[in-house]
Amino acid sequence: MLTHAQIWRAVDRLAERHGLTASALAKRAGLDATTFNRSKREAPDGRPRWPSTESIAKILVATGASLDDFMELVQSPRGGPSHPASVGRSLPLIGFSRAGDGAFFDAAGLPVGSGWEEAIFPDIDDAHAYALEIAGDAMMPLYRDGDIVVVSPAAAVRRGDRVIVRTRRGEVLAREMKRRTARTLELRPLSPGLPDQIIPEADIAWVARVLWASQ
């Protein structure tokens, strides 16, 4: 029997497989950008809401995936890769809380130094890609304790992308890119109910895009 969580997780994995957020996947499929938002997955009274068959059909067409591909994502265990297991390479890995340590990144946000672990992840077209392991529940419900995000310093960052931001004071943030101007960076928190954050561009050391997450 298919569960509500399995179906929604497959939608997220399909988006991640193509380097998209759930919102970007919806827009590519010609749907409203909020179609797959977390807030749309439950009714106000807590009852589960399911994606429509029409919306599933449209994202399959938009990504070129087959129904069998989607069912493979549905049936793969939690925490399993959202890319084919046969494709992957070793990426440097550290805990998210350690990313603020200047010893692990250069001025451009590229991983450097020792102390990194290694793990096999889906192949990413960025020689400097790295992985961060989430600890705690501060990013719930999007990321849970133990989830791993793969980050690409080379990937172009667009509105709606999930990003890792490091300030010049050494603070490291996981956010959604809302807007960027010549003077400021406007970010949306991953946890609901928190206010948007505006950071002066002069205070930003680097911004890198999250391409994949092991959810």
Q: Which residue has the tokens 């990413």?
A: 124
For residue 1, the model assigns a pLDDT of 63
Residue (of 2, 50, 59, 21) closest to 215 by Cα position: 21
For residue 6, the model assigns a pLDDT of 87
Answer whether residue 80 shows pLDDT above 50: no
Answer whether residue 77 shows pLDDT above 70: no
For residue 162, the model assigns a pLDDT of 93
CA 24/CA 76 separation, integer angstroms: 23
For residue 88, the model assigns a pLDDT of 56
What does R_g of the chain's alpha carbons equal in angstroms? 17
- A 10 A CB-CB count for 46 gives 6
Answer whether residue 139 shows pLDDT above 50: yes
Residue pair 25/16 in contact by the 8 Å Cβ criterion: no
- Tell me which DSSP letter residue 48 carries: B
For residue 79, the model assigns a pLDDT of 44
Q: Looking at residues 7-15, what average pLDDT do you find?
A: 88
Residue-averaged pLDDT of the chain = 85
Copy the structure tokens of residue 4. Answer: 């509500």
Q: How confident is the model at residue 86 (pLDDT cuts 50, 70, 90)?
A: very low
Domains, the chain, with CATH or none: 4-75 (1.10.260.40), 89-213 (2.10.109.10)
Q: What is the per-residue pLDDT across 21-59, written as a single tens digit (0 to 9) for each? A: 788 888 889 999 889 887 788 887 778 889 999 999 999
The fraction of the chain above a pLDDT of 90, given in percent, is: 34
Answer whether residue 87 shows pLDDT above 80: no
Beta bridge partners of 197: 187
